[in-house]
Structures are given as structure tokens and as C-alpha cells.
Structure 1
Amino acid sequence: MKSEISTQEFTMRFTSTPRGARLARRLVSHRLDEWGHPYDGPVNEAVTLIAAELVANAVRHGHVPGRDFRLQLTGSDGLLRLEVSDTRGERVPEVRVPCAESGRGLLLVEALADTWGVTPRQPGKSVWAEVWLSPATER
């Protein structure tokens, strides 16, 4: 018997502003809840925090006046993938030693995601993170 792979996807463009970042974070949490990962569950909390960090970086470091950022959340066969794309390719994110004011975001992404990375695109870049779900995770 052949099993079907269920794929869920949410993609949207947001203004490259703090308000756009806040809306993106909220919609990720809402979509995860609709997909069976409750608001107060560990998957929703982790992926929403990853989303918050990636969209904040897109607004803070990837902002180009007049250009939006794009968020894509995909759930497929035990994997959640979050991808945030902006149009500023010369500012590639890297994990660094945090200072008093900043630098903790990618450390959090690295700690919460199973894997993450940066993919160049024209124009700009996409920063992505993946979280693998265990069979018993919130289902």
C-alpha cells in the first residue's frame, strides 16, 4: 500500500518594517496551530521564535527601501521548513559572539533548528531553518 505525503505550505510577502515582522511571526504561529501544532506546544513555540529572529534580521539587516521580504513555511513528511527571503544579498548572516545589544538571534536559531543556512538568490538571499518532527510530536 502506497502512503501519501501530505504537504502544507504558507507563503506571503510582508512590508520590510517592524509591523510586517510582527505580522509574519503571528501568522506563522497561527498557521502552525492550524496544522496541528498548538500555540503552547514546543514545535509552535520553537518555530515561531525562529521566525521572529529571521524576519527581524530581514527587516533590520536585509531592508532595501521599497522592497518587501517573503516568508515561506512548508510542512512535509515530518519536516517543517521556514524560509525568509530579502533583497539585500551583500549582508549574509553569520553566527557571532553576542554583544550587550545584539547578536543572539542566530545563536537561538542554531539552538532551536535541526539545520539552517543561507541560499543566494536574485536579488538577495534566503535564510532558512528546518525542524524535524518526531513521530510523537504534538500529533
Structure 2
Amino acid sequence: MRSPYSHPQQLIMDLEADYSQLTRARSRIRQWLTGCGAVDGVDEVLLVVHEILANAIEHGNDGSGGHVEVRLRWEEQKVSIHVRDQGKAPDPPQVVPAQEAGECGRGLAIVEALAHSWGATTQRRGRSVWATLTCGPGGQELRRAA
């Protein structure tokens, strides 16, 4: 993992498109959110980032290794997540019914259940998947981000 650039409201990470980066990314994001003062909603943010990042690594990799950019912004109890890959997947990501005994296919259903909103944008080289969640200081009742 390359060194992330961060300041109190934003975190940017340029990661190798490799599953080994998932644990490091979650650890760095937890540390950053804690530094921002977030307590409630942190686990949900981490799960959504994990699912979107895993999808970017699996489906957004064009076979040449490549990188995935992860951007988070925290503002007024709202976290915006953007994950950009370098792949050439032709179809937009979509929630599909998971097989009952299957190990795959639940990622975007989890994102949809936890995020206030999410979506994807296809670019000339790659795709960005984004989500918005509520995350704030402890002891407050949080509602999904508006």
C-alpha cells in the first residue's frame, strides 16, 4: 500500500489491486475515522468500503495488476466513499440475488442495505463506485445520511 494522503476531513489511498490490501485499508480507515471523532457507524463504513473495494479488485482489474483509488470524506456526520478502479468491466455493478449456499454475490446487497445512497459512474478508464453513510460521535442516535 502506498502512503495515504490525509487531512482531518478527507482520506485518499492508492492501493494495489490485490486482496491483501483489504485488511490494511480497513485498519487505516478505522484509524482515520477515529481521528475525525467518529464512533457510531464506523463498522458499517468499514463493511461498505470492504465490499466496494473487493468488487473493484475482482471485477475492475483488467488483468495487469493496476491500482484502486479509495477516497473518503467525512463532513457533518456523513461519510462519502468513492472507489475507482482501472478495469474495463462493460456492465455497471448491480445487486443480484445471492445463491443460498453461495459464497459470493452479497456485496452490493450489503452496500444497498447500509448506505443511504450508492451508485457507479463509468469513465474512459475504469469505474467509480460511491456510497454515502452516516457516521458520527458516540452516544448519538444516527439516521441514514440525507
The alignment of Structure 1 onto Structure 2 pairs a total of residues equal to 129
Amino acid at match of 1:97: P
What residue number does 1:51 align with? 49
1:28, distance to aligned residue in structure 2 (A): 1.4
1:92 has 2:61 as partner: no
Alpha carbons of structure 1 residues 32 and 134: separation in structure 2 relative to 1, 3 Å: closer
Alpha carbons of structure 1 residues 137 and 72: separation in structure 2 relative to 1, 3 Å: farther
**Unmatched 5+ stretches in structure 2:** 1-7
Structure with bigger helix share is 1
Could you tell me the TM-score, scaled by structure 1's length? 0.83
Contact 1:21 1:59 in 2 (8 A): no
Give percent identity, aligned residues only: 30
1:28-54 deviation per Cα after TM superposition (whole angstroms, max 9, x unaligned): 11211111123xx4x100000001101
1:84-105 deviation per Cα after TM superposition (whole angstroms, max 9, x unaligned): 1001242421100002121111
1:27, distance to aligned residue in structure 2 (A): 1.4
Alignment of 1:50-129 (within 5 A): 50-64=48-62, 65-89=64-88, 90-99=90-99, 100-129=102-131
Give the SS at the match of 1:18: coil
Contact 2:117 2:131 in 1 (8 A): yes
Alpha carbons of structure 1 residues 33 and 92: separation in structure 2 relative to 1, 3 Å: same
